[in-house]
Structure 1
Amino acid sequence: MSSGKFSAAVDLSGPDRLQMFIRKVKENQELWGLYVDGWAEEADADGKKGLVVWPDEAHARLCATDKWGQHSPKSIKLSSFKDRWVDKLVRMRLKVAVFPTPFDGPVFVEATVLRSELG
């Protein structure tokens, strides 16, 4: 990704980042989280937790600071996410916290809805 596209992505609105996330994950067949002794999570305004994910390693690495400073980017195969992760997230009552940036929080999506959007 060129630095211009990278910079522009972090300035997108939440809904636009969600659409970019879906497009890139479908294209690359992987998504990225931050991991250290467990996956990074974020809570929505109601306190409901979500697994935090990004469309690529570079954007995940950009957020590996502060509360996630000890975390490292780790990829998740799209097929694994759809076939195994979604059901586990539903059982754990976790949403998916999609594509936060240093300037804006994630877009919270129900795991089953995201699986459907990812085809």
Structure 2
Amino acid sequence: MLSLNQHEFEVVIRQPANIRYEYFIKKVVDYEEIWGLYNEGWASAQDDKGNVLIPLYPNEQFAEAFAKYEWEGCRPKKIELEYFLEKWLPGMKSDGVKPSIFPTDTDSAVMDVDTLREDIEEELEKY
């Protein structure tokens, strides 16, 4: 498992949502995995408009750090990047679920499924 030092961890979580989103894209492509929170089902939230959001993180350490409040009792669970692109994103799109990228106590980058796919695929092309 990738382990961040405390300094990098603190620096990253204090970044605005758009910077954390860029970090997320680079890291999930680097390690070919995405992390969600799971407890008898995947953790989710709702935005002000009633949209269902699935919180997604670039690694286990970040996911673990935010398994609190309404996600208390959830554990980080890995999703292989290829499976995420082939199965998760089409399923989320058809269910009208939005990815909530790297939510912290302050904010989150809520993305359109197609935008997230394009950004991941664009990053993958660099490898």
Would the TM-score normalized by the shorter structure come out above 0.5?
Answer: yes
Aligned to 2:110: 108
Selected match of 1:65 from 46, 68, 91: 68
Name 1:15's counterpart in structure 2: 18
- Cα pair 1:53 1:98 within 8 Å, conserved: yes
1:42 paired residue number: 45
Tell me, yes or no, if the aligned pair for 1:54 and 1:60 is still in contact at 8 Å: yes
Q: What root-mean-square deviation, in Å, do the aligned CA atoms of Structure 1 and Structure 2 show?
A: 0.9
TM-score w.r.t. length of structure 2: 0.89
1:104 to partner: Cα distance: 1.5
Q: Which amino acid aligns with 1:42?
A: A
Query: Deviation per CA, 1:30-89, whole angstroms, max 9, x where unpaired?
Result: 010000111111222322111110000000000111211110000001000001111100
SS, match of residue 27 in structure 2:
helix
Structure 1 unaligned blocks of 5 or more: none
Q: CA deviation at 1:15?
A: 0.4
2:85 matched to which residue of 1? 82
Q: State the one-letter code of the partner of 2:111.
A: V
Equivalent pairs, count:
118
2:66 aligned with 1:52: no
TM-score normalised over the length of structure 1: 0.95
After TM superposition, the runs of 4+ consecutive aligned structure 1 residues lying more than 6 A away are: none
